[in-house]
């Protein structure tokens, strides 16, 4: 009887990815249709090495599951493993392992690359008339997946970015001498995260004053002209920039080839765009300049996550398991926004082929005509996603997290 | 009748400095001894320009005062103005302005440089038999002031650092390939902030694995040997480093002269120690390397502040006003720890001369013998300071702050 569930996590961390895991585990227990609940360490990579753990027995009680929901990054670990195109021995190998563990439902949480795995595996199982159901659970802070209103993980990252920008704006305006602050934000291919810096303005903060998305070609000369003009009326200018800004020639602005940075030994020096622009501004303007790279905390701060996001991430995990149990395969659970006010969503499924390997960019219509801001439509879209405080599990003043690090792999008699 | 109070803020921002302002305002209203409550914009600099605002009329109600208490950075603005040595015309100028505004009590919130102003002004007033009382309120995230168990602002920064290290550790351990993560922490002259990264271990996190304080001379060769050894047993090594690490020759490790970093045009490139060590490790070790600079959010994140710290900051502000009303001058309000468990403090005063311009370093006895960790005594000392969640004022999912930006200066008929 192949009715065990296997779930894995893949791609970059988010703060909501364990909430999807917790939602799927919850639904699997509740459904009465799933026998064992297995987790794969480091996604596909762990499956191939049979690094598979027993989640029912690793999670002691309701409190553990609630703690998992609020734990950032990936409790099961991740991988960047790309399934080779069919035919390849890997497919048969995976099938054998699935048979060994009697897997009937395989859920994979990941971004557009990971959905490629969902597509290939479900296509393979269908082609050999194998009953195993494969369902994708979207996650990415980048919000760049098609077919879903937004991605789990994005709302929390957006909240972290907007909150941090508001706090950095307070910090950067304490002196009366003029200043420029560059805030570097993730999102190499799409500007959703950088756009969410605009939400800082919702509670009276004037920052950010300029927002540069990767959807607009970056012109350093125009940037300096616009910045100098902004500085004439704004004493403390805060600029939000995407790490993925590109020049007209298609190169990343912060590319080390482009910057030509070298250390004392002539070795190439890897910088970020924030630091690069900080140095550019310092050379060309007479004011205090600082850059702040929000770095990995924007995707892993459980302290500043969005309750809306965590709740949706859990719900989409549960929904994915429901789809699998209903017999769907080769699909991804997605979020459909029904209404902005009150904010309401529904969970649907879509063919994985419409999502895998594709990127949803910020529409041109949501970028301001000056090229360095967003429109009110963007703010209306973003606003509901950051609402609600998380259930922080605090001990000694610090967040507590759930870890599966010391759980041994399940051993099967082969 | 000279019974108005004037309060100003000076030096770098902290998340607790407005709590001291709010505590002093509260106590001034409660005491019945203070007539008007004035705030100086940008500290001494604003006083000299008569940029003085009426705080009683800028704060509408109890909610505003509660909001001020949780607002990061400095609501009144700051300065880096150093009062010249006496004799100087500036003293007479300040005295005239104090007379004009009928100031009887002057409170100055700041670090060791700002306490120099408290000392000079109180000495001057005493020397001319002027009744104006001058009292200092300590603040600095660096925790490097003498005569006080710790400084307001430090506990919140310590909590931000420990929380961030725990979250970065989750993020950096999701892949099964080995990694090194360098976390750069503030504190140019003293290692208290960097030491507080150790608190991340209180809730089961193994990071940080190595902690480098500025009190210990940094040897890059030994660093690489120790790091490689650590990496043999720890897959994902997290290293906490102070921005103020110095080499044997006394130069900062991240000094641009030292690094010799130049851009394509041969201009000097300002880096930080985190980025510098990241590049060093990348050249010498075969693993993923990342650096994270916690930057200004460690001193301005109201979201991850310590309720203990905020409450003490408010109390020390109130106590400072009490000292002034009691007739004390040339003193600083300080915190004395009475007991670790239960954690109990008292507020005392000490002569400003024992604090001004001096630095309290981490004692050698609290640094581990390997040179890259802290002792259990340090953890016992730090632990109570980060306890308690702040009263977050949230609107649309974002923190709300109080601003005096649009309050006009008080005009006096001269």
Residue A257 has pLDDT above 70, yes or no: no
Residue A273: what pLDDT? 93
Task: Determine whether the interchain pair A260/B260 forms a contact, defined as Cβ–Cβ distance below 8 Å.
Answer: no
Confirm whether A378 is domain-assigned. no
| pLDDT band, residue B1 (cuts 50/70/90) | low
% of chain A exceeding 70 in pLDDT: 95
Residue B176 catalytic? no
The string of pLDDT tens digits covering residues B269-310 is 556 899 899 989 999 999 999 999 999 999 999 999 999 999
Residue B188 and residue B296 share a domain: yes
Per the residue annotation, which of B64, B85, B113, B142 is the catalytic one? B142
Using CA coordinates, name the residue in chain B closest to A163.
B398
Same domain, A164 and A289: yes
| CATH code for the domain in which residue A166 is found | 3.40.50.460
Q: What is the pLDDT of residue A264?
A: 52
Contact A170 B271 (CB under 8 A): no
Residue B48 lies in a domain: yes
Per-residue pLDDT at B411: 83
Question: What confidence tens digit (pLDDT) does each residue in B230-258 have?
Answer: 999 999 999 999 999 999 999 998 875 45
* pLDDT (average), residues A367-377: 98
Q: Check B79 against A175: CB less than 8 A apart.
A: yes
Residue that is last in its domain, among A252, A281, A300: A300
Asked if the model's pLDDT at residue B14 lies above 60, the reply is yes
How much is the pLDDT for A95? 98
Indicate if the pLDDT at residue B356 is higher than 90. Answer: no
Residue B326: give the domain boundaries. Answer: 4-153+304-358+387-399
Number of domains within chain A: 2
In a domain, A406, yes or no: no
So what's the pLDDT on residue B395?
96
Residue A386: pLDDT over 60: yes
Instruction: Flag whether B370 is in a domain.
Output: no
Residues A159 and A294 in one domain: yes
Nearest alpha carbon to residue B311 among B74, B110, B20: B20
**B279, B301, B398 ranked by CB distance to A263: nearest:** B279
CA pair distance A368, A373, nearest whole angstrom: 5
Confirm whether A148 is domain-assigned: yes
Q: Do B267 and A283 touch (CB under 8 A)?
A: yes
- The interface pTM score, or ipTM, of the predicted complex is 0.95
* Min Cα–Cα distance to chain B from A168, Å: 7
Statement: residue B414 has pLDDT above 80: no
Residue A288 domain-assigned (yes or no): yes
Burial A3-28 (b: 16+ CB within 10 A, else e): ebbbbbbbbbbbbbbbbbbbbbbbbb
**A357 compared with B201, residue with greater pLDDT:** B201
Chain A CA closest to residue B51: A176
The catalytically annotated residue of A142, A144, A226, A373 is: A142
- Region B61-65: mean pLDDT is 96
Q: pLDDT tens-digit profile of A270-319?
A: 568 998 999 899 999 999 999 999 999 999 999 999 999 999 999 999 99
Percent of chain A with pLDDT over 90: 89
Give pLDDT tens digits for A139-187.
999 999 999 999 999 999 999 999 999 999 999 999 999 999 999 999 9
- pLDDT in the model for residue A255: 75
> Which chain A residues contact residue B389 at CB under 8 A?
392, 394, 397
Question: B162 and B147 in one domain?
Answer: no
Q: Hey, are the CB atoms on B387 and A397 less than 8 Å from each other?
A: yes
Q: Tell me, yes or no, whether B83 and B23 share the same domain.
A: yes
Contacts of B170 in chain A (CB under 8 A): 13, 71-73, 300, 401
pLDDT top residue among B312 and A256 = B312
Q: In terms of domains, do A163 and A137 share one?
A: no
Helix (H) or strand (E) holding A244: none
Pairwise CB contact (< 8 Å): B397 & A403 = no
Instruction: Average the pLDDT over A388-408 and give the result.
Output: 95
CATH of residue A16:
3.40.50.450
Compute the distance between CA of residue A90 and CA of residue B369 in angstroms, rounded to an integer. Answer: 50
| Whether residue B206 sits in one domain with residue B98 | no
Q: If you average pLDDT over every residue of chain B, what do you get?
A: 94
Q: What is the distance in angstroms between the Cα of B194 and the nearest Cα belonging to chain A?
A: 16
Establish if B61 belongs to a structural domain: yes
Q: Is the pLDDT of residue A259 over 90?
A: no
The answer, yes or no, to whether residue B60 has pLDDT greater than 80, is: yes
Query: At A8, is the secondary structure helix, strand, or coil?
Result: strand
Within 8 A of A186 by CB-CB distance, chain B residues are none
B372 lies in some domain: no
CA gap A387, A255 in Å, rounded: 36
Chain A residues within an 8 Å CB radius of B267: 279, 283
- Which residues of chain A lie closer than 8 angstroms to B271, CB-CB? 269, 271, 275
Residues near B370 by Cβ (< 8 Å), separated by ≥ 6? B226
Residues A8, A145 within the same domain: yes
- Out of A283, A300, A317, a domain closes at A300
pLDDT mean over A1-8: 92
CB contact under 8 A, A292 and B297: yes
The shortest CB-CB distance from A77 to any of B174, B260, B300 is to: B174
**What is the mean predicted confidence (pLDDT) over A106-130?**
96
For β-strands A331-340 and A343-351, DSSP reports them as antiparallel
Is B80 found in the same domain as B125? yes
Write the residue in A171, A392, A395 that is nearest to B13 by C-beta.
A171
What is the mean pLDDT of the segment spanning B387-394? Answer: 96
The mean pLDDT of A232-238, rounded to a whole number, is: 97
Same domain for A39 and A144, yes or no, is yes
- Which chain B residue shows the shortest CA-CA distance from A263? B261
Select from B300, B315, B338 the last residue of a domain: B300
In the DSSP assignment, the letter for residue A374 is B
- The residues that bridge with A133 in the sheet, in sequence order, are A105
Residues B147 and B27 in one domain: yes
Question: Per-residue confidence at B263, pLDDT binned at 50, 70, 90?
Answer: low
- B254 and B138 in a common domain: no
- Inter-chain CB proximity A173 and B73 less than 8 Å: yes
């Amino acid at each position: 009887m192949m009715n065990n569930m296997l779930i894995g996590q893949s791609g970059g961390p988010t703060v909501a990815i364990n909430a999807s895991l917790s939602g799927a585990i919850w639904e699997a227990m509740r459904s009465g249709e799933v026998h064992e609940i297995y987790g794969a360490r480091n996604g596909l990579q762990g499956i191939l090495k049979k690094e598979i753990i027993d989640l029912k027995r690793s999670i002691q009680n309701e409190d553990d599951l609630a703690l998992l929901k609020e734990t950032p990054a990936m409790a099961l670990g991740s991988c960047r493993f790309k399934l080779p195109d069919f035919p390849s021995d890997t497919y048969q190998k995976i099938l054998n392992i699935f048979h060994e563990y009697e897997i009937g439902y395989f859920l994979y949480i990941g971004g557009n690359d990971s959905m490629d795995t969902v597509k290939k595996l479900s296509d393979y199982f269908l082609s050999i008339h194998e009953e195993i159901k494969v369902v994708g659970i979207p996650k990415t802070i980048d919000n760049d997946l098609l077919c879903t209103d937004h991605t789990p993980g994005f709302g929390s990252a957006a909240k972290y970015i907007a909150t941090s920008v508001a706090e950095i704006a307070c910090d950067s305006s304490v002196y009366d001498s003029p200043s420029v602050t560059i805030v570097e934000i993730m999102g190499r291919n799409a500007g959703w995260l950088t756009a969410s810096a605009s939400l800082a303005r919702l509670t009276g903060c004037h920052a950010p004053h300029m927002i540069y998305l990767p959807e607009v070609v970056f012109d350093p000369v125009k940037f300096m002209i616009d910045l100098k003009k902004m500085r004439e009326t704004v004493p403390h200018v805060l600029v939000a920039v995407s790490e993925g800004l590109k020049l007209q020639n298609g190169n990343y602005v912060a590319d080390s080839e482009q910057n030509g940075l070298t250390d004392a030994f002539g070795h190439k020096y890897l910088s970020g765009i924030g630091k690069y622009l900080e140095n550019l501004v310092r050379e060309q303007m007479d004011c205090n300049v600082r850059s702040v790279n929000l770095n990995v905390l924007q995707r892993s701060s459980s302290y500043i996550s969005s309750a809306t996001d965590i709740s949706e991430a859990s719900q989409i995990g549960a929904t994915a398991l429901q789809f699998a149990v209903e017999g769907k395969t080769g699909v991804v659970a997605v979020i459909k926004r029904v209404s902005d006010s009150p904010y309401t969503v529904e969970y649907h499924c879509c063919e994985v082929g419409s999502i895998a390997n594709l990127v949803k960019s910020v529409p041109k219509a949501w970028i301001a005509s000056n090229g360095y801001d967003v429109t009110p439509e963007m703010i209306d879209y973003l606003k509901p996603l950051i609402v609600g405080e998380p259930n922080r599990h605090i001990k000694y003043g610090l967040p507590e997290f759930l870890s599966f690090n010391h759980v041994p792999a399940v051993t099967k008699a082969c």
